Structure 1
């Protein structure tokens, strides 16, 4: 009977430890989702975007990527859209680079 009580006590303690672990893990994921942000800004005669982690700028993009001669985005909405795409790649642990095809696709949808 003592072994049975000891086994139940061990099972109870293990369950509590796992519950605490999962609660902290889930709350940490929610905090990480909110630490990134996209902000647009005027850039020359157009728009650019920046990606922030908390309040620190981690990407500053005053021009459209993949385009020669440093052309800014034509409007704030297109800068915001591409910034959101980059941010989704960061959150998914992907390469945040934008291809010419991705840029063209987003810009065509906005026109």
Structure 2
């Protein structure tokens, strides 16, 4: 009888942990879907915005962390930085982009 109770308790524990993991994964997927990036074309380059539920959370017309107002030269550069900022937000970190971040993303800032 003790073995049967143990097996039932173990099965319940495994079932509850599986359900808990599934719920957490679903919440994370919902968060990821409600926070998204868009890149937009400007007169002489690109910018990006981070949106949540169709509302602009961050709009970045220029490359952050460098002096002056310089748009991204390519769509790809804007996407890289936008995705970095989105990742920081999802990790509950401050969405600050440094010159080191730009360098790690291979974005050339020496021309500014």
Query: TM-score normalised to the size of structure 2?
Result: 0.72
Query: After the TM superposition, which of the residue ranges 24-33 and 77-86 deviates more from structure 2?
Result: 24-33
The gaps in structure 1 that reach 5 residues or longer are 1-10
Query: Within 1, Cα distance between the matches of 2:45 and 2:30?
Result: 33
Q: 2: distance between equivalents of 1:91 and 1:79? A: 18
Q: Which residue of 2 aligns with 1:107?
A: 107
Q: Distance in 1 between matches of 2:52 and 2:100?
A: 27
Rg comparison, structure with higher value: 1
CA displacement 1:29-72 (0-9 Å, x = unmatched): 22112111111001230000000112111000000001222000
Aligned residues: 106
Deviation at 1:17, TM superposition (A): 7.7
Alpha-carbon separation, structure 2, partners of 1:65 and 1:15 = 47
> Whole-Å Cα distance in 2 between the matches of residues 100 and 79 of structure 1?
14
Query: Are 2:46 and 1:47 aligned?
Result: yes
Greater percentage in helix? 1
The change in CA–CA distance for 1:64 and 1:17 in structure 2 (over 3 A counts) is same
RMSD, aligned CA: 2.6
Structure 1 segments (4+ residues) deviating >4 Å: 13-23
For the residues of structure 2 that align with 1:25 and 1:103, how far apart are their CA atoms?
A: 32
